[in-house]
């Protein structure tokens, strides 16, 4: 188990009024997950997505499928 803390960041495309999510991609290598949270509620719940599933999601968004 890692003791590394998530390093949260938002996309540079996130200037749309605050309806954004933050991800902590630094945990992919150590834990195999991408934590995701609502940027407006940083102390709220975190969803841990598997790295492969997150990559598929990002690809679908990029391709306009989502």
pLDDT for 1 equals 45
Q: List, for residues 4-18, the tens digit of each pLDDT value.
A: 899 999 877 776 666
* In the chain, where the domains are located: 1-66
Closest by CA to 61, choosing from 11, 7, 9, 8, is 11
What pTM did the predictor assign? 0.79
Q: Mean of the pLDDT values across residues 19-37? A: 91
pLDDT for 66 equals 79
Q: What is the 3-state secondary structure (H, E, C) of the chain?
A: CCCCCCCCECCCCCCCCCCCEEECHHHHHHHCEEEEEECCCCCCCEEEEEHHHHHHHHHHHHCCCC
Q: Residue 8, SS3?
A: coil
């Amino acid at each position: 188990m890692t003791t590394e803390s998530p390093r949260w960041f938002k996309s540079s495309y996130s200037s749309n009024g605050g309806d954004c999510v933050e991800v902590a991609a630094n945990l992919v290598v150590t834990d195999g997950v991408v934590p995701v949270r609502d940027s407006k509620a940083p102390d709220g719940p975190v969803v841990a997505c598997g790295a492969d599933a997150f990559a598929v999601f990002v690809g679908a968004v990029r391709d306009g499928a989502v």
